[in-house]
Amino acid sequence: ERRATGTGTPRWGFSPPGTSLLQEVVYLVSQGADPDEIGLMNIDEQLPVLEYPQPGLDIIKELTSPRLIKSHLPYRFLPSDLHNGDSKVIYMARNPKDLVVSYYQFHRSLRTMSYRGTFQEFCRRFMNDKLGYGSWFEHVQEFWEHRMDSNVLFLKYEDMHRDLVTMVEQLARFLGVSCDKAQLEALTEHCHQLVDQCCNAEALPVGRGRVGLWKDIFTVSMNEKFDLVYKQKMGKCDLTFDFYL
């Protein structure tokens, strides 16, 4: 998510459920909230999306600091506060094969998008940078280039499943949340509950939040083509992903 003006607290992701899960974990860590309470609230009202017309920039500006604001915008299009280091940014990247599968399911689930093409067609559009918010390859590399900025925390979705304890510690430290060992353990346990709830939600396609989702839908030829495009578009970037755990 990210904040609009002044000082505050930012962060983002490219598509659900990584985005949804990150915003809930960040809200829990920053606010000390209970996971059951988060399940009962409209989390999107607590973390408005910067570029959406609702609730709008005027409402966002009225929020009290520190504000939690979400965005999917590329780094270059974010407000100058972020570029100047006046706001914090938490960015979560997910391995692109799982991401494109989840993104496809997300497009098919929304009436407003009502995408009815095949996964092969959708994946082709993804590889050719023909989906909303532009090229994922440029998006993730641009944030990766700023990973060492003091106001940027670059996270990977797969690490949330492999080592949630370390991720919660990183988030707490980055957000300036002080907690002792017992509090940290409680926070981590609550985050585990959120991960389980998100990845096993009945409203989502089965297993959409798991790592290695792509293996159930990619054909051999699709995988070979994707690997070739990935290698070409990522160039000499040293960012790596885990495609299964």
Residues with active-site annotation: 72
Rounded to whole angstroms, the Cα distance separating 179 from 181 reads: 7
13 and 22 in contact (C-beta within 8 Å)?
yes
Instruction: For residue 199, give the nearest of 108, 98, 122 by alpha carbon.
Output: 98
Q: What is the DSSP letter of 49?
A: B
Q: Are strands 68-71 and 89-93 parallel, antiparallel or unpaired?
A: unpaired
Sheet holding 152-156, edge to edge: 68-71, 9-13, 89-93, 152-156
DSSP-derived secondary structure letter, 69: E
Number of Cβ within a 10 Å radius of residue 125: 15
